[in-house]
């Protein structure tokens, strides 16, 4: 009789655990030293995993960073939260929910965003990945704005609203207000939500 196993095998679970251990070590080093200064050897030492195993699991440093990005985004369930905000019958409340999601994203992955920005300058693989992510992100923003288009402020086109939206959620603004000026995340979220509503709905 053949027994069909459900879920990953023991070896597969070990491989997944190893990749997670590598990703966690790399994320800590990227945040501390930066992308360029972090070597595979340093990641191996921090993770306590042999260098050949890291190359076998990922292939290169860019693949490790892409894996970190995917792991963080998966914890946020961004697509589902965007859908819920877009489907809210109250456009102002939907925009405020988006402000909350943006705050969550910055809190969860600002360090990864910073490292990715650095990596783009030296790694074409990461540059391509970031272009893909940003294009997907912009499509999500546009879908939301198109859904509330009848409620936009007089004279405001979907393209205008999208430009404002993208500008308001720039990481540089979060960095300035929260990390440099000392705003609390709650205050940042309230400021972003108020600007969404005022700038887009009028």
Q: Which tens digits make up the pLDDT trace of 179-194?
A: 999 999 999 999 999 9
Average pLDDT, the chain: 92
Do the domains 10-59 and 68-201 sit in the same CATH topology, yes or no? Answer: no
pLDDT of residue 2: 52
Reference 200, options 171, 158, 170; nearest CA is 158
The pTM (predicted TM-score) of the whole model is 0.84
Q: Which tens digits make up the pLDDT trace of 139-159?
A: 999 999 999 999 999 999 999
DSSP 178-194: IIIS---HHHHHHHHHH
Please state, in angstroms and rounded to a whole number, the distance separating the CA atoms of residues 138 and 146: 12
pLDDT of residue 174: 97
Q: How confident is the model at residue 36 (pLDDT cuts 50, 70, 90)?
A: very high
pLDDT of residue 14: 84
Give me the CATH topology for the region 10-59.
Answer: Arc Repressor Mutant, subunit A (1.10.10)
For the stretch 171-178, contacts whose Cβ atoms lie closer than 8 Å and that sit 24 or more positions apart, written own/partner, are 171/106, 171/110, 171/113, 171/114, 171/117, 174/106, 174/110, 175/110, 178/106
CATH number, domain 68-201, options 2.30.30.60, 1.10.357.10, 1.10.10.10, 3.40.50.10860: 1.10.357.10
pLDDT of residue 4: 59
Please state, in angstroms and rounded to a whole number, the distance separating the CA atoms of residues 84 and 147: 12
Domains of the chain by residue range: 10-59, 68-201
pLDDT of residue 5: 58
Q: How confident is the model at residue 1 (pLDDT cuts 50, 70, 90)?
A: low
């Amino acid at each position: 009789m053949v027994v069909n196993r459900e879920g990953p095998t023991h070896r597969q679970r070990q491989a997944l655990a190893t990749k997670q251990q590598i990703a966690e070590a790399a994320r800590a080093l990227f945040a501390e030293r930066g992308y360029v200064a972090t070597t595979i050897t340093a990641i191996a030492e921090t993770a306590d995993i042999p260098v050949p195993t890291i190359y076998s699991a990922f292939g290169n440093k860019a693949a490790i960073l892409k894996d970190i990005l995917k792991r963080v985004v998966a914890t946020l369930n961004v697509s589902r939260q965007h859908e819920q905000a877009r489907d809210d019958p109250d456009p102002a409340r939907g925009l405020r929910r988006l402000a909350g999601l943006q705050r969550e994203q910055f809190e969860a992955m600002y360090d990864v965003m910073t490292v990715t920005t650095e990596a783009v300058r030296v790694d074409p693989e990461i540059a391509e990945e970031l272009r893909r992510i940003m294009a997907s992100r912009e499509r999500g923003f546009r879908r939301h704005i198109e859904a509330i288009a009848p409620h936009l402020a007089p004279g405001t086109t979907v393209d205008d609203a999208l430009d404002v939206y993208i500008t308001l959620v720039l990481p540089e603004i979060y960095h300035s207000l929260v990390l440099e000026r000392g705003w609390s995340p709650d205050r940042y979220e309230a400021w972003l939500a108020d600007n969404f509503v005022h700038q887009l709905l009028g």
